[in-house]
Amino acid sequence: MTHYTPTSPKVSVLMVSHDAEKTVRRAVESLQNQTFGNFELIVVDAGSTDETARLLSALADRDMRVSVAQAGECGRQDALNLALDRARGDYLLVFDADGWADPTMLEELADRAESGSLELVIGGFSLSLSIGGGRSARAEVSSEARTFPTQHDFRSYAWKLLAEGQLLPASGKLFSRALVERSGARFSQGSGSDHSFVTRCLAEVERVAVVAGARYHVSRGIPHGPRDVVDGYRRLEEEHAALLALYESWGLDGDAASVEAIQDRYIEQLMDCVERICGRGSRMGSADQRRLVAQMIDTDRAQVAASVARPRGSAARAMLAPIRARNIPLVCAQTRLISLIRPGIADVTPDLFV
């Protein structure tokens, strides 16, 4: 075991908690049981009203590697920025209060980063979702071990990681502090996602590796109300624009594989938004469903994606023609039908939820 150094931990783990009394103990204990010991865990509690704060205080009292900050009511990104400002490690890792790690995760990531003088190490993860209406879904996202010694090597391969849902999530990745500082990466306030932090790092990163297997795990429920769907669609639009800008800055906006991966991701996640509006368990009236779906598919961005994308899921592929035709009633009707016979309209798109 690599022992903890109080003044200079090798890895700073950043966590945000909010009313996480059912999961936060498992999350923290999975870190305490790591074979790699030289880390600090910085937990920012964002105004919990349950037993979360008490549980965290008890865990911190027994382990000097754990520190807890009470931030009051604030968003996840504000809380992560607070944790980032307090971090002292050479490497940074985002960890969810509803996640847990295999005992060797930190050791594998840190050893890989140190041995190769790498700026980013990408780990795999598994995701279990409770979607609502009695539905659930599970996905495991991992790749074979691979090292990218140059910026060009990584950028040419990044579309594959994007297509698998492994590129954008911040959780389970190891970022060098030097990369974060050089790129000026921060967690974007009001975005509802950590992905903007990742894309800022991706714009600058040079030396990258992927470790094989899924060592990080997340289990969560998905909010299903009208406001949640609208917010999810807004995040999708923002992230799609950011991805297009990233690939343009890389000089890959004309690369066929990269463009298709971006458009596949967009159309599959757009279908998830539509399924949450029209599918089984929706509480919206028909008129509201049609209005929201029209706003989502009657855009230049959706039309371009429907023309270019080749999604893997058969249900998502079946929706391409109705979207291109802007046939709102047919889109809603097919979505309801598909939702009755399968957990979701498309394959689980993990980076929408992590």
Using one digit for the tens of pLDDT, what is the confidence trace for 165-218?
Answer: 999 999 989 999 999 999 999 998 767 789 999 999 999 999 999 999 999 999
67-98 as b/e, with b when 16 or more CB fall inside 10 Å?
ebeebeebbbbbbbbbbbeebebbbbbbbbbb
Length of the chain: 354
Predicted local confidence at residue 6, as pLDDT? 63
Residue 1 inside a domain? The answer is: no
Q: Tokens 């590796």 sit at which residue?
A: 209
Predicted local confidence at residue 1, as pLDDT? 47
22-56 as b/e, with b when 16 or more CB fall inside 10 Å?
ebbbebbebbeebebbbbbbbbbbbebeeebbebb
Helix (H, G, I), strand (E, B) or coil at 252: coil
Same domain, 144 and 274: no
Q: Which two tokens stand for residue 311?
A: 């999604």
Residue 268: in which H helix or E strand, if any? helix 256-278
Helix (H, G, I), strand (E, B) or coil at 96: strand
Same domain, 190 and 288: no
Same domain, 204 and 100: yes
Residue 236: in which H helix or E strand, if any? helix 226-249
304: how many CB neighbours lie within 10 A of its CB? 14
Same domain, 243 and 213: no
Same domain, 43 and 56: yes
Of the ranges 19-23, 147-151, 307-311, which one carries the lowest mean pLDDT score? Answer: 307-311
Same domain, 303 and 195: no
CA distances from 190 to 78, 88, 286 (A): 9, 26, 30
Q: Which positions ≥6 away from 310 have C-beta within 8 Å?
A: 260, 264, 317
Residue 255 inside a domain? The answer is: yes
Predicted local confidence at residue 3, as pLDDT? 61
Cα gap 180→11, rounded to integer Å: 13
How high does pLDDT run on average in the chain?
90
Q: Which of 177, 206, 221 is the last residue of a domain?
A: 221
Same domain, 330 and 182: no
Same domain, 248 and 111: no
pLDDT in tens, 25-51: 999 999 999 999 999 999 999 999 999
Residue 163 inside a domain? The answer is: yes
Average pLDDT over residues 136-164: 92
Predicted local confidence at residue 342, as pLDDT? 65
CB contact at 8 A, 107 and 35 = yes
pLDDT in tens, 306-321: 999 888 877 788 889 9
114: how many CB neighbours lie within 10 A of its CB? 13
Structural domains counted in the chain:
2
CATH of the domain at 124: 3.90.550.10
- Name the residue with higher pLDDT: 139 or 24: 24
Cβ burial, residue 124 (10 Å; 0-12/13-18/19+): buried
Same domain, 29 and 112: yes
Same domain, 199 and 340: no
pLDDT at 345 over 90: no
What residue numbers bound the domain in which 259 lies? 226-352
Q: Which of 190, 221, 252 is the last residue of a domain?
A: 221
Same domain, 186 and 69: yes
Residue 89 inside a domain? The answer is: yes
Residue 288 inside a domain? The answer is: yes
Q: Which two tokens stand for residue 283?
A: 């509480």
Cα gap 199→242, rounded to integer Å: 8
CB contact at 8 A, 145 and 211 = yes
Q: Which of 172, 199, 221 is the last residue of a domain?
A: 221
126: how many CB neighbours lie within 10 A of its CB? 18
Angle, helices 256-278/286-297, rounded to nearest 10 degrees: 170
Cα gap 162→154, rounded to integer Å: 12
Same domain, 200 and 273: no
241: how many CB neighbours lie within 10 A of its CB? 11
Cα gap 41→204, rounded to integer Å: 26
Residue 129 inside a domain? The answer is: yes
Chain centroid to Cα 335, Å, comes to 25
Predicted local confidence at residue 133, as pLDDT? 58
Q: Quote the Cα angle for 213-197-34, to 5°.
A: 40
Predicted local confidence at residue 67, as pLDDT? 96
Predicted local confidence at residue 341, as pLDDT? 74
CA dihedral (81, 87, 93, 95) positive or negative: negative
Residue 57 inside a domain? The answer is: yes
Cα gap 158→150, rounded to integer Å: 12
pLDDT at 135 over 70: no
Residue 3 inside a domain? The answer is: no
pLDDT in tens, 246-264: 999 999 999 999 999 999 9
pTM for the model stands at 0.90
